């Protein structure tokens, strides 16, 4: 028995005015998802807890069966891990942006004019060569990931992730000094290191040849690194130990890949998987089918639905759901229905109306040989609320799936 869990990021929504007060799931033409609802068991799921808007990281931890409130230790380290940075358990990592600041360190553009990968790579090389004088005793790694994004990883003894962000989060405000959040020696030391590093980065970036060329071409110079989301790698028992399974993830976003790596899952890279609405949905589905040969559990993560909601684009969100539906059709045509479970859900609601993650429950459906079919005929927020799973928590899903796979042990005698 095998299981595939499809997570469409932020797919769940609230009723939308532009869609006649229906949700995108209620609007989209999605024969395969509805087929799943007809033949499976449905329900709604609170990723963390009712009314709590989850991040993609905490929600994915929960959907993998972990207690997110206990294991979560910040976004930076997960993003670093998912981007392939070699991060150690003692490291403190931050999520970074190349940004443009003026001479008073006031932010002019938080993405340095959406700098190209090429320019960002060159600038990352410049700042990686920096040597810090003094007796702070630490090493650092700075790597750019996609466009303006990057990760900063601080390595040394007596560090702490309980420090604030340098990113003020909006233009027109001055870069913030990183501060200790608990007033302890470790966090004060970490804040001092990061503040010193960021100023050194600024000095080097400001005179970097790439930036001089950018200014000549009329582009914004990437003269500052903004950092946020300090974190360390959470210590969790890998899925392979908890359920005796081989697990893999097919996805493109560093954050979700980082969570999966922490859970001990293998990451499967797919050509054409971009984490954007233009991603190759069928290529990802094909990768899942190939992975079924060697894995018991595969998580297929699709980011595009969340992107459409943050961009507050109802039409795009409906189109993406229809593309996901086609990819599911491909999956359904290739799996052995007697030997596989297929589950589809969202990691949270991302509201087209607010452009934010919200705390509403998300729909969930599970198909497979031994599920108790219910009377639900459509896969959407309101239909699934009448389903046989009723209302479950995010962390209930993995035990339910693993029990269907025969991978759970009896509690008691």
| 165 is an interface residue for Zn ion by CB under 5 A | no
Shortest CB 81 distance to Zn ion, Å: 17
With tokens 């290529």, the residue in question is: 283
Which of 9, 109, 119, 358 forms a contact with Zn ion (CB under 5 A)?
Answer: 9
Cα torsion through 5, 11, 13, 19, rounded to 10: -130
What tokens does 347 get? 């990691």
- Edge to edge, what strands does the sheet with 247-250 contain? 266-268, 247-250, 297-302, 2-8, 340-345, 362-367, 41-46, 390-393
| 56 is an interface residue for Zn ion by CB under 5 A | yes
| 306 is an interface residue for Zn ion by CB under 5 A | yes
| 79 is an interface residue for Zn ion by CB under 5 A | no
The nearer residue to Zn ion, 11 or 239, going by C-beta atoms, is: 11
DSSP 80-121: HHHTT----TT-EEEEEEEEEE-TT-BEEETTTTT--HHHHH
The nearer residue to Zn ion, 46 or 347, going by C-beta atoms, is: 347
| 13 is an interface residue for Zn ion by CB under 5 A | no
What tokens does 293 get? 């040969």
The nearer residue to Zn ion, 45 or 194, going by C-beta atoms, is: 45
Shortest CB 262 distance to Zn ion, Å: 16
| 358 is an interface residue for Zn ion by CB under 5 A | no
Task: Tell me, by CB under 5 A, how many residues bind Zn ion.
Answer: 4
* Binding piece for Zn ion, criterion CB under 5 A, among 78-86, 197-205, 231-239, 302-310: 302-310
* Binding piece for Zn ion, criterion CB under 5 A, among 13-21, 229-237, 337-345, 347-355: 347-355
**Are the CB atoms for 371 and 404 separated by under 8 Å?**
yes
What tokens does 46 get? 């609170």
The nearer residue to Zn ion, 190 or 253, going by C-beta atoms, is: 253
Shortest CB 207 distance to Zn ion, Å: 36
Q: Count Cα neighbours of 36 within 13 Å in the Cβ-side half-sphere.
A: 28
What tokens does 306 get? 């969340």
Shortest CB 362 distance to Zn ion, Å: 10
Beta-bridge mates of residue 76: none
Shortest CB 57 distance to Zn ion, Å: 8
> Which residues lie near Zn ion (CB under 5 A)?
9, 56, 306, 347
């Amino acid at each position: 028995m095998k299981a595939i869990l499809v997570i469409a990021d932020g797919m769940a929504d609230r009723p939308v005015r532009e869609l006649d007060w229906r949700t995108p799931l209620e609007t989209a033409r999605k024969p395969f998802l509805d087929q799943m609802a007809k033949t499976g068991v449905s329900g709604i799921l609170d990723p963390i807890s009712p009314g709590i808007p989850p991040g993609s990281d905490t929600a994915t931890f929960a959907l993998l069966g972990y207690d997110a409130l206990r294991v979560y230790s910040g976004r930076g380290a997960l993003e670093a891990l998912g981007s392939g940075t070699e991060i150690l358990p003692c490291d403190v990592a931050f999520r970074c942006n190349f940004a443009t600041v003026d001479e008073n360190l006031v932010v002019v553009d938080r993405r340095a004019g959406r700098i190209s990968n090429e320019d960002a790579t060159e600038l990352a090389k410049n700042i990686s060569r920096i040597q810090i004088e003094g007796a702070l005793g630490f090493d650092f790694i700075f790597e750019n990931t996609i466009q303006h994004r990057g990760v900063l990883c601080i390595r040394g003894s007596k560090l702490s992730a309980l420090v604030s962000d340098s990113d003020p989060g909006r233009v027109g405000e001055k870069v913030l000094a990183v501060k200790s959040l608990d007033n302890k020696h470790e966090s004060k030391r970490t804040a001092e290191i990061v503040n010193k590093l960021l100023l050194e980065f600024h000095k080097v970036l400001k005179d970097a040849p790439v930036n001089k060329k950018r200014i000549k071409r009329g582009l914004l110079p990437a003269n500052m690194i903004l950092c946020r989301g300090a974190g360390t790698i959470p210590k969790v028992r890998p899925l392979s130990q908890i359920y005796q399974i081989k697990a893999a993830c097919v996805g493109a976003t560093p954050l979700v890949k980082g969570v999966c790596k922490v859970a001990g899952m293998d990451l499967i890279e797919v050509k054409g998987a971009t984490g954007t609405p233009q991603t190759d949905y069928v290529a990802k589905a094909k990768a899942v089918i190939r992975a079924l040969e060697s894995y018991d559990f595969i998580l297929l993560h699709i980011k595009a639905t969340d992107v459409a909601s943050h961009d507050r684009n109802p039409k795009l969100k409906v189109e993406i759901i229809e593309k996901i539906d086609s990819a599911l059709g491909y999956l359904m045509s290739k799996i052995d229905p007697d030997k596989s479970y297929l589950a589809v859900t969202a990691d949270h609601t991302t509201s087209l109306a607010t452009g934010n993650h919200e705390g509403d429950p998300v729909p969930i459906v599970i198909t497979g040989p031994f599920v108790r079919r219910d009377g639900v005929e459509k896969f959407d927020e309101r239909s699934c609320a009448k389903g046989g799973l009723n209302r479950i928590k995010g962390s209930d899903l993995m035990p339910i799936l693993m029990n269907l796979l025969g991978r759970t042990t009896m509690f008691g005698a």
